[in-house]
Amino acid sequence: MEQDKMSIRAAVFDGNPEGTLTVEALQLDEPHHGEVRIRVRAAGVCGSDRHVLDGEWQVPLPAIMGHEAAGVVEAIGPGVRSLDIGDHVVIAWHQACQRCAECTGGKPWACTRAKSNDSLLPDGTTRWHDVDGPAYPYLAVGAMSEAIVVPEFAAIPIDRRVPFDVASLIGCSVGTGYGAVVNNARVVAGESAVVIGAGGVGLSIVAALKLAGASPIIAVDVTAQKLESALEAGATHAVLGGESLAAEVSDLTSGGADVAFEAIGRTQTMSQLPSLIRPGGRAVFVGLPPEGQPLEIDGLQLAYEGKTLIGSNYGGLVPARDFPRIATAYLAGLLPLDDLISTRISIDQVNEAFEAMRLGKRTRSVIVFDDDAAGTTERDR
């Protein structure tokens, strides 16, 4: 018998050179064994999606874009035991195998068996279809869609008091920034920090640094408006990027920061990161550059001064542990996540959001799928 399907609207990329999306109708299968269907209530517009649209990363096509999603469980496949219909959930895009040494050792982000990077569910298939055949959910989420199907373990229950727009960002930008501080750099109170890039991930790093008690917290960007947002998020200093950046950071930290984060994914700023930290300091690479771009690092400086380079993949997150912790901190007023959202849009405005991102005009756009999915603040900055 043919698998039951439902019709949904989704933002689809066909590989066109303009990097634009088309909102179209697709067919979504019912969840298979160990899977759940989520009615998406909010989806973030992330820089990783832009890498795909601009041809910097290659993915299977046609691609249902988006990987930051929050919503409500509306259907449960056979064998699902940890979720109930009506649960509010945040989706983890790195869908680790749950069995390898990395997964069982508490490092699911390091799993090399995950099929999500190939835009496939754990069984190597997809639940989405257009008239010509399979469609591929980006990072096995496809968040820019009215509904999605994911494995049970990728849907993390979250407190119902967290607004869906905020919750969606916990799944990537906020989780990545928080994890880079807490899991990768392990920042402790009183350490000095510098963050290059005041977009969605960079602001999440700043907020997590404030939560950890870091001081000073120096935000760096080329846009004055984004630096204002960084100060609101918890930065103590805002610096316009330029040739004198290393000297300015040295002056503000008495010789270099204890830890520096790059949250853009530009090889120029990534190569600059070690020059911003003191001897024995840590440089954390959070932003993801285009494929195949090497970095230039002064190896002698690195070795002689005992500096550590840290690659941050998904913030070293253990989603089932870290997503609820982030939500708890938000509800306690310790993480001002509402302020990270600059613009709330409908799915039909998605191309406008990506163009604004390319121009550096917004901090974070979030697609909301109905009126009550958004929080109370409505700003466009």
Higher pLDDT, 132 or 40: 40
Tokens of 46: 């992330």
Mean pLDDT of the region 334-350? 94
- What element of type H or E holds 179? helix 173-179
Q: Reduced to 3 states, what is the DSSP secondary structure of residue 90?
A: strand
Residue 166 lies in a domain: yes
Say whether both 21 and 153 belong to one domain.
Answer: yes
Higher pLDDT, 373 or 108: 108
Residue 294 lies in a domain: yes
**Closest alpha carbon to 143 in 162, 170, 111:** 170
DSSP for residue 363: S
For 225, phi then psi, to 5°, come to -65, -40
Binned at pLDDT 50, 70 and 90, residue 290 comes out as confident
Show the domain range for 186: 174-316
Binned at pLDDT 50, 70 and 90, residue 3 comes out as low
Say whether both 145 and 208 belong to one domain.
Answer: no
Give the whole-angstrom CA distance, residue 121 versus residue 126.
Answer: 6
pLDDT digits (tens, 9 = 90+) for 106-148: 899 899 899 999 999 999 999 999 988 999 999 999 999 999 9
Split into its structural domains, the chain has a count of: 2
Say whether both 163 and 97 belong to one domain.
Answer: yes
Residue 124: half-sphere exposure toward Cβ, Cα within 13 Å: 1
Give the whole-angstrom CA distance, residue 351 versus residue 71.
Answer: 22
Say whether both 191 and 163 belong to one domain.
Answer: no
Catalytic residues: 46, 48, 51, 67, 172
Say whether both 103 and 189 belong to one domain.
Answer: no
Q: Which of 281, 300, 316 is the last residue of a domain?
A: 316
Contact 13, 33 (CB under 8 A): no
Binned at pLDDT 50, 70 and 90, residue 363 comes out as confident
Binned at pLDDT 50, 70 and 90, residue 373 comes out as very low
What CATH number is attached to the domain comprising 45? 3.90.180.10
Residue-by-residue DSSP string for 306-331: T-EEEE-SGGG--HHHHHHHHHHHHH
Instruction: Give the distance, in angstroms, between the CA of residue 381 and the centroid of all CA atoms in the same chain.
Output: 20
Say whether both 139 and 255 belong to one domain.
Answer: no
Say whether both 263 and 352 belong to one domain.
Answer: no
Residue 251 lies in a domain: yes
**Closest alpha carbon to 162 in 341, 374, 369, 380:** 374
Tokens of 356: 């604004």
Q: Which of 269, 299, 316 is the last residue of a domain?
A: 316
Say whether both 76 and 180 belong to one domain.
Answer: no
What CATH number is attached to the domain comprising 279? 3.40.50.720
Supply the pLDDT for residue 379: 41
Q: Reduced to 3 states, what is the DSSP secondary structure of residue 111?
A: coil
Say whether both 180 and 162 belong to one domain.
Answer: no
Say whether both 296 and 368 belong to one domain.
Answer: no
Say whether both 146 and 31 belong to one domain.
Answer: yes
Residue 332 lies in a domain: no
Residue 87 lies in a domain: yes
Question: pLDDT exceeding 90 applies to what percent of the chain?
Answer: 83
Residue 336 lies in a domain: no
Say whether both 122 and 197 belong to one domain.
Answer: no
Residue 238, C-beta contacts closer than 8 angstroms, at least 6 positions apart: 218, 219, 220, 221, 227, 228, 230, 231
- Length of the chain in residues, anyone? 381
Residue 262 lies in a domain: yes
Residue 283 sits at the vertex; the CA angle it makes with 364 and 186, to the nearest 5 degrees, is 80
User: Angle of helix 200-212 relative to helix 224-233, nearest 10 degrees?
Assistant: 30
Name the amino acid, one letter, at 270: M
Which residue is associated with the tokens 């120096």? 218
Give the whole-angstrom CA distance, residue 319 versus residue 104.
Answer: 14
Residue 327 lies in a domain: no
Query: Which segments of 213-304 does DSSP mark as H helices, in order?
Result: 224-233, 245-253, 267-272, 299-304
pTM: 0.91
pLDDT digits (tens, 9 = 90+) for 152-166: 999 999 999 999 999
